[in-house]
Amino acid sequence: MDSWRGADVPRLPGSGPAPRLHDTATGELVPAATGPVATLYACGITPYDATHVGHAATFTAWDVLVRAWLDAESAAGRRFRVIYVQNVTDVDDPLLERAARDREDWRELAGREIRRYRADMEVLRILPPTHLVGAVEALPVIEAFNARMAARGALYNVDEDVYFAKSADPDFGALSGPGTPSGFSLAEMADLSARRGGDPGRPGKKDPLDCLVWRAERPGEPAWDSRFGRGRPGWHVECAAIATRYLGTAFDVQAGGSDLVFPHHEMSASHARVAFAAGHRGEGTVFARVYAHAGMVGYRGEKMSKSLGNLVFVNQLLVGGADPMAVRMALLAQHYRSDWEWTDTTLADADARLARWRSALARAEAVQPGPGRAGRAEAVLAGVRARLRDDLDSPHALAVVDHWADTLLALPPTRITPAEASGARLVRDTADALLGISL
Ligand code: 5CA
Ligand code: ZN
């Protein structure tokens, strides 16, 4: 489906270091990509409600990763080329339940929310994915993927529904099971799966953790013909099929909020290992080489979630007069991996920071620019690059710009040299290219 319009990214002088990410599977800081092509799959929205600041924070984190790649040189000595795929879960239980509750056609609901999501992403200056792919448009891809798993004997029926047998994958649990930093036991996995769309207690399953890959048609629910009967796809296979179709059987980064570690990302990876077990070219990795997870944004003491209804919508903030760049600044002020709370002062703090940066720029730009070294501005570029390099440390990257702004604001205008005045352009471009903040 159509993505959204991307903002221009200024090209900065020189190049930055290749970014490294904390990998959920190992707990280690590893190169996000070695290049020359960096490949990213980020789980996208289920479009039954507007974009809240939790979604926006997570997608901003991946945007910073993409921006760091675009600025960096790969091991091959060239700038990375980025292929970024994001899905839209445009048919699934929560969407259908909301449509039924509101007596609305599920397609209309999804269509409207996808349009709103695109508009929110664009105004936050989040660069669009190379491919934005809906589950419905990917039905043939999902069917072919399920057929691969069936050919390996990994699927079975419970009534008319089709399940994936986790016993088909000897490496099940490699992302979050015992021995990993998450270290989930089977009992914890069953509990998480029950809370996140699974059905561990369903009679007839061979294992409580086996998950649905094709759900037979139910009265009043949408369904499509397939070799598995009329029905609709399971959630985990949607992402496994789309990711491997657009990025190949092995790719660099699988990204999402930490609520997706189990079962979603564990299951998608497991599906892919089974589907591509034989005939996989290259050693080792099937599916993602690195798993990146963003912390959960909360509001009033709970994780912000559509089901709880404690939501702060991006669109609501904008309608209320918020500067989109202040919203973005507020999201970048937190490290992407931490859990944090949106509070009633979050936006005002970000707004004050944005104003400080803008007045420092205005001060520098009031001086006639001239030749010479813009030492302070160059330090901003180097500092922001260095902070983002290690696990996208945006809070410290913002602190680098704060330091520059505070220094400039403390200088009497006569002490701002023509060279520093021309450096203002570099600071502007740094904030724009690497942080996505247009000053
Ligand atoms: N469509 C699936 C992924 S395939 C889904 O989880 N959709 S979602 O709309 O619920 O979430 C979209 C993205 O936002 C996911 O990466 C999810 O982990 C993340 N997310 C959801 N709630 C929060 C939150 N409160 N804070 C941070 N990120 C969140
Ligand atoms: Zn997903």
Distances (CA, A) of 145 to 137, 287, 294, 390: 14, 13, 28, 35
Tell whether the model's pLDDT for residue 420 goes beyond 60. Answer: yes
Question: Quick one: DSSP state of residue 257?
Answer: E
When divided into structural domains, the chain yields a total of 1
Are 197 and 235 contacting, i.e. CB atoms less than 8 angstroms apart? yes
pLDDT of res. 283: 54
CA distance 276 to 254: 17
* pLDDT 10s digits, 185-219: 999 999 999 999 999 999 999 999 999 999 999 99
CB contact set of 305 (below 8 Å; sequence gap of 6+): 54, 311
Query: Which contiguous run of DSSP H or E holds residue 319?
Result: helix 314-319
- φ/ψ of 337, rounded to 5, equals -85, -10
Please state the pTM of the whole predicted model.
0.97
Task: Decide if 413 contacts 363 (C-beta within 8 A).
Answer: yes
Q: Give the distance (Å) from ligand 2 centre to CA of residue 133.
A: 11
The C-alpha angle with vertex 329 and arms to 325 and 333, in degrees rounded to 5, equals: 175
157 CA to centre of ligand 2 in angstroms: 23
Mutate to test the pocket of ligand 1, among 24, 40, 58 (most ligand atoms within 8 A of CB): 58
Using the predicted structure, report yes or no on whether residue 55 has a pLDDT greater than 60: yes
Q: Is the CB of 121 under 6 A from ligand 1?
A: no
Q: Quick one: average pLDDT of 152-173?
A: 97
| Amino acid making up residue 360 | A
Tens of pLDDT, residues 349-369: 999 999 999 999 999 999 998
* Residue pair 47/86 in contact by the 8 Å Cβ criterion: no
Q: Which domain holds residue 416?
A: 324-336+343-435
377: domain CATH number is: 1.20.120.640
Query: Distance from the CA of 153 to the center of ligand 1, in angstroms?
Result: 32
Percentage, residues of the chain above pLDDT 90: 90
- Among candidates 402, 397, 393, 255, which has minimal Cα distance to 335? 393
Task: Say yes or no: CB of residue 296 within 6 Å of ligand 1.
Answer: yes
Element (H, E) at 315: helix 314-319
Q: What integer is the mean pLDDT of 285-303?
A: 93
Cβ neighbours of residue 100 closer than 8 Å, sequence gap 6 or more: 220
57 lines ligand 1 (CB under 6 A): yes
Q: Is the CB of 417 under 6 A from ligand 1?
A: no
Residue 350 domain-assigned?
yes
In a domain, residue 18? The reply is no
pLDDT at 308: 78
Whole-angstrom distance, CA of residue 80 vs CA of residue 259: 29
Q: Share the mean pLDDT of the chain.
A: 95
Whether residue 354 lies inside any domain: the answer is yes
d(CA 350, CA 344): 11
Judge if the beta carbon of residue 258 lies within 6 A of ligand 1. no
pLDDT digits (tens, 9 = 90+) for 1-32: 999 999 999 999 999 999 999 999 999 999 99
